[in-house]
A and B are shown apart, each in its own frame.
Chain A
């Protein structure tokens, strides 16, 4: 109950600050199982993506997030684990008990949709999009029935640049592109390049 209330409070706050606008250009917001993969410039990325999903979809969509960040303080643990029901993965290969792709596969097997950031870390560079890690490819290979939906998030890096405390109330746009699937016999590098290109192509459709 506290988690449900906090979830609504957080989405309301996100709406007031950024008036986020979802553009479903390549796919409709239907209750199908999907993996939303987005560019990553801010810790609030998945909050915003989660906010613009219709409530019916939101309840079944779990962000994939870094365990070392989200279990650091009790507040973060509450938000990450209870409010967003995040799939928490360990970014340190030597310490982790479970492989991230296995954890994500379990969440998909449980019927959830996922939000992932295939760049693997926040993009602090001038480049629009960093190269993808291989997780997206493994998800696509192991879950051929699931739609992989590229989502370009624009402007959020300006709302709250790293190191700033006060968020600027600028409008953020989230563009949902056409779903991708792994082609038969498609190599890992080819698939990652294709999904990378599909995501960055959405950037061109957003003004400013």
Chain B
């Protein structure tokens, strides 16, 4: 069976949600601040219109098949890595290793995913980049903050390239009885994790009182977390019929990826705080940078990949 009908249902569903969100956003603006004077409503509307763009882009990638998905996530990795490495510690001596991160490590990782060489793409960055990149920096002879510099660069690669590449890697999983439909796994993962983010925001804005981590983020509340994770887990379970999972398995998977997504947001907030910034970048209006939108997927994707690979292939 082909992936197409299920994918179209999912995209149509997301389209309907976005239409409703757009209408709500416009009504709120017209009722409360038609002059665009309410920053929360303006940010909400900017977020919704950015969501339209992201959904259209993702749909086009799905339509283009494996090449489109691998290329899209390689470009997302590039943008994320640029945001991350803009903030990390570096010296002039790191110029070659940083150039290598962008122009060698990133393309090679995605090429390995493209040719489905699991044995190498699963260790290429944690072993080969990990050992060889510091050598390139060391050969240039600058020792000041050496460990900080190489550790932050390696972190950037793990987060922005290694973890993100596990999204298109889902296409390489062979699940019996599910041939030709693995793109649905990506759509389901992104839908569930992002829905959790959105619903955490909505529940938090409506009912949020108690902060989960006051030192990390003023917007993450227990009410938002529980409401968002429950909503997204229910939605993920309700879509079990398009996945290789049973309804209970889908609920368990959805719970795992939404919790990982939440942890991702938490860890990435800690890094932003440490570096003294509010957002990773500025290219997605209303959201901030690519990493601000991807942080939950980054943490969820490798776990989802390995759980699926372990239990279903």
Contacts and interface: CB of A to CB of B under 8 A. Distances in A.
Contacts of B99: 166, 168
B103 A171 contact: no
A208 B90 contact: no
Contacts of B98: 168
Contacts of B103: 166
B291 to A, nearest CB: 11
Interface in B62-101: 78-79, 82-83, 85-87, 90, 92, 95, 98-99
Interface residues of B, number: 20
A208 B281 contact: no
B283 interface: yes
Contacts of B178: none
Contacts of A168: 85, 95, 98-99, 102
Summarize B's interface: helix, strand, loop or mixed: helix
B282 interface: yes
Interface string B44-71: 0000000000000000000000000000
Contact of A208 (B86, B102, B282, B283): B86
B82 A161 contact: no
B209 interface: no
B276 interface: yes
Given A169-B78, A171-B281, A208 B92 contact: no
Contact of A207 (B78, B92, B275, B283): B275
A21 interface: yes
Interface in A158-208: 158, 161, 164, 166, 168-171, 207-208
Contacts of A208: 86-87, 275-277
Interface string B272-293: 0001110001110000000000
Given A207-B275, A208-B277, A170 B95 contact: no
A166 B101 CA distance: 12
Interface string A123-157: 00000000000000000000000000000000100
Given A21-B282, A164-B95, A169 B82 contact: yes
Closest 5 CB pairs of A and B: A171-B86, A207-B277, A166-B99, A170-B86, A207-B276
B246 to A, nearest CB: 44
Given A21-B281, A161-B92, A207-B277, 8 more contacts: A21-B282, A168-B98, A169-B78, A169-B82, A171-B83, A171-B86, A208-B276, A208-B277
Contact of B90 (A19, A158, A164, A166): A158
Contacts of B276: 207-208
B304 to A, nearest CB: 29
Given A161-B95, A164-B95, A208-B275, A170 B85 contact: yes
A169 B84 CA distance: 11
User: Interface centre among A19, A166, A170, by most B CB within 10 Å?
Assistant: A170
